Amino acid sequence: MVIANTSDNNVCIGTSITLSGSGAVSYTWNNGVVDAQSFAPLVGTTTYVVTGTDVNGCFSQDSINIVVNPLPVVVANTSDNNVCIGTNIILSGAGAISYTWNNGVVDGQSFSPPVGTTTYVVTGTDVNGCVAQIKIAYKRYGVNPLPSVRANTSDNNVCIGTSIVLSGTGAVSYTWNNGVVDGQSFVPPVGTTTYVVTGTDANGCINQDSIDILVKHTTSSCSKYQR
C-alpha cells in the first residue's frame, strides 16, 4: 500500500517542503514534484498524488493535501511621524494578530523617540504563524530638536518712562508675556519685571527664554548697559 508523506502540510508561502512516498520501490508525483526533493508550493490548497510501483510492476496511489498560507499584509501605524524632542508617540501594527518592533518599541505603548531620523520596523505574525515585516509606512520617522530661543533687549536697566524693545532670536515666530509684541517698542513699568519669550521654529517645535528688565523710580543716577 502506497502512502504519501509530507514534511509539513500547513505552511506559509515561500516555505519549502518535501513529499515522499512509502510502501513501494519507486514513486512519481503530479504537479512536477520529485519524490523526496524539497520545493516551495503555491498559495492555496493543492492535492498532490503519488503513484508507487513495487518490484512486480504493480502500482497504487495515495494523495495528500498541502495548505499554503499567504503572508499577512502588515501595516505600520504611528500617532505622528514628525515631532519635537520630548514628544511621546505610539507605534502600532495592523493586519496580523501579534507585533514586535525593533529599537525596543512595544506595540501600542507610548514612548519618546530620540532626536534624529530613525527607521522603525514592525514584524507581524498571523493566526497561521506566518510572518511579514514592514517599515513605518516606508517613511522615515523624524524627531526635531527644540529651537535655541534667546530673549534680547535694547536695554535692561533704564529710567522710568524709557522705551525699550524686546526681540527673540533662534526661531521663526515669537510671543511674549505681559502683552509685549516682539520687535515693537514699549515703556516697561517701574521695578524689575521678568519677560518670557516663546519661540516656534519651522517644525512647530517650541522653546522659551526669559530676561529681567529693571526700571528705576527716578531719573537721577540712571545707569544703562546692554544685557
Q: What's the pLDDT tens digit per position in 101-123?
A: 999 999 999 999 998 888 899 99
Please indicate, yes or no, if residue 161 is contained in any of the structural domains. yes
Q: What are the counts of helices (DSSP H) followed by strands (DSSP E) for the chain?
A: 0, 23
Q: For 16-63, what is each residue's pLDDT tens digit?
A: 999 999 999 999 999 999 999 999 999 999 999 999 999 999 999 999
* 26 and 80 both lie in a single domain: no
Tell me the sheet residues that pair with 5: 20
How many C-alpha atoms does 29 have within 13 Å on its Cβ side? 24
3-state secondary structure string across 128-141? CCCEEEEEHHHCCE
Q: Say what percent of the chain tops pLDDT 70.
A: 93
DSSP-assigned states of every residue in 27-80: EEESTT--TT-EE-PPSEEEEEEEEEE-TTS-EEEEEEEEEEEPPP--EEEES-
Please indicate, yes or no, if residue 226 is contained in any of the structural domains. no
Q: How many domains does the chain have?
A: 3
Q: For position 136, what pLDDT does the model report? A: 63
Please indicate, yes or no, if residue 157 is contained in any of the structural domains. yes
Please indicate, yes or no, if residue 194 is contained in any of the structural domains. yes
Rounded to whole angstroms, how far apart are CA atoms 93 and 75?
Answer: 6
pTM of the model: 0.74
Q: By residue range, what is the domain housing residue 43?
A: 3-69
Q: What is the CATH number of the domain that holds 91?
A: 2.60.40.10
* 82 and 37 both lie in a single domain: no
